[in-house]
Amino acid sequence: MTQTISINDSGRLQLTPLEIPSRLLLGPGPSNAHPTVLQAINTSPVGHLDPAFLALMDEIQSLLRYVWQTENSLTIAVSGTGTAAMEATIANAVEPGDVVLIGVAGYFGNRLVDMAGRYGADVRTITKPWGQVFNLDELQTALKTYRPAILALVHAETSTGARQPLEGVTDLCREFGTLLLVDTVTSLGGVPLFLDAWGVDLAYSCSQKGLGCPPGASPFTMSARAVEKLQQRQTKVANWYLDMLLLGKYWGAERTYHHTAPINLYYALREALRLLAEEGLANSWQRHQKNVEYLWEGLENLGLSMHVEQEYRLPTLTTVCIPAGVDGKAIARQLLNEYNIEIGGGLGELAGKVWRVGLMGFNSRKDSVDQLLAALRQVLPK
């Protein structure tokens, strides 16, 4: 994007009108939003306490309960990106001195460690190589050793493309009176999720990936067990903006003013959730799985391999191993500059070793895969 700034004869600053290239966003997020969602975000705003907007908030809550498969009363959209929703779970659930056990098998497990430490937690970790997942025996041993107040796991590790199985984890947590906190940033909408059936107590996500919405309005939910812990805190939630005792009154029956919500982003989120509900969760999950298997086959036909075992790969994000001798950053730049296709590079331990290819929400389509494969055929060394 080229910007031209000049001073006219009247001494006023002149800037050329905004021009942004049209990209196919096949990185780790954001993904392209559905045209209906983009249309919704351009709707004229109303006040954040307008009855029409409060009714829309109720619709968002109901739709989020559907896509998460939960009946949690405290289910809202945080005014902020997915990282704000991540911090909200830590800020509300963790009291100083709480033992918090975190499964670290990628970049975002480490982010949870950093956040929990900042809120005074006694942080303990279990680790796996990036791209692998924890089994029940490993989790049981760690729970028995540390007896934490909270176990935090990343369901969909955005840095590795690995899916952490959650079935059976809640039985272990209940044995030790532990709350289960789960990162669903790269799984919500595109990967099977059953929060109530799996006994998840706290979860967060984002709007710009599987939901196919611009970033800035991020799903958050707390079970009755987690709310009870929140209500019994001996200290105030250290983050005023993300305090669910306050936010719950804005989203709940009281409708007490808390902050000026990003109204147009909530318009977009409501429409994105509506489109997902009309498609049906099971259909969306199947669509994501079908399209990613088509991608994997195409990549393998190009001689490329995947970083994660197929059993644990995400249908929303694939880590592709960069072949020896290939400049991964140069290939990504060429895709962006010559083909208007964005893919992501590796983070942390996988920096320079993988590309991250996302097929999320509206972008999980066969033609998205075809465009990427056609471009890769041109830019990859023969």
Residues 220 and 335 in one domain: no
Please indicate, yes or no, if residue 13 is contained in any of the structural domains: no
Domain boundary among 277, 296, 331: 277
Residues 263 and 293 in one domain: no
Cα–Cα dist 101/371, whole Å: 42
Please indicate, yes or no, if residue 152 is contained in any of the structural domains: yes
Q: What is the pLDDT of residue 3?
A: 54
Residues 248 and 347 in one domain: no
Residues 266 and 287 in one domain: no
Residues 75 and 149 in one domain: yes
Cα–Cα dist 316/183, whole Å: 14
Residues 43 and 175 in one domain: yes
Q: Which run of H or E residues covers position 17?
A: none
Q: Which residue do the tokens 């079970």 mark?
A: 223
Residues 133 and 79 in one domain: yes
Q: What is the pLDDT of residue 39?
A: 96
Residues 293 and 370 in one domain: yes
Residues 67 and 176 in one domain: yes
- Is the Cβ–Cβ distance between 82 and 228 less than 8 Å? no
Q: Which run of H or E residues covers position 307?
A: none
Please tell me the total number of residues recorded for the chain in this structure.
382
- Is the Cβ–Cβ distance between 113 and 261 less than 8 Å? no
Domain boundary among 220, 245, 277: 277
- Is the Cβ–Cβ distance between 352 and 297 less than 8 Å? no
Please indicate, yes or no, if residue 8 is contained in any of the structural domains: no
Q: Which residue do the tokens 């009755």 mark?
A: 224
Peptide bond between residue 214 and the one before it cis (omega within 30 degrees of 0): no
Residues 287 and 353 in one domain: yes
Q: What is the pLDDT of residue 247?
A: 96
Please indicate, yes or no, if residue 18 is contained in any of the structural domains: no
Strands 202-204 and 217-222, sheet pairing: antiparallel
CATH number at residue 345: 3.90.1150.10
Please indicate, yes or no, if residue 247 is contained in any of the structural domains: yes
Please indicate, yes or no, if residue 132 is contained in any of the structural domains: yes
Residues 238 and 291 in one domain: no
Q: What is the pLDDT of residue 13?
A: 80
Residue 266's closest CA among 87, 70, 91, 63?
63
Please indicate, yes or no, if residue 105 is contained in any of the structural domains: yes
Domain count, the chain: 2
What is the residue range of 290's domain? 24-31+281-379
CATH number at residue 163: 3.40.640.10
Residues 328 and 255 in one domain: no
Cα–Cα dist 310/40, whole Å: 37
Q: What is the pLDDT of residue 11?
A: 72
DSSP-derived 3-state class of residue 363: helix
Domain boundary among 255, 277, 299: 277
Please indicate, yes or no, if residue 17 is contained in any of the structural domains: no
Q: What is the pLDDT of residue 148?
A: 98
pLDDT tens-place values along the chain, 382 residues long: 455 676 776 777 878 888 889 999 999 999 999 999 999 999 999 999 999 999 999 999 999 999 999 999 999 999 999 999 999 999 999 999 999 999 999 999 999 999 999 999 999 999 999 999 999 999 999 999 999 999 999 999 999 999 999 999 999 999 999 999 999 999 999 999 999 999 999 999 999 999 999 999 999 999 999 999 999 999 999 999 999 999 999 999 999 999 999 999 999 999 999 999 999 999 999 999 999 999 999 999 999 999 999 999 999 999 999 999 999 999 999 999 999 999 999 999 999 999 999 999 999 999 999 999 999 999 998 6
Tokens read off for 3? 């910007």
- Is the Cβ–Cβ distance between 75 and 68 less than 8 Å? yes
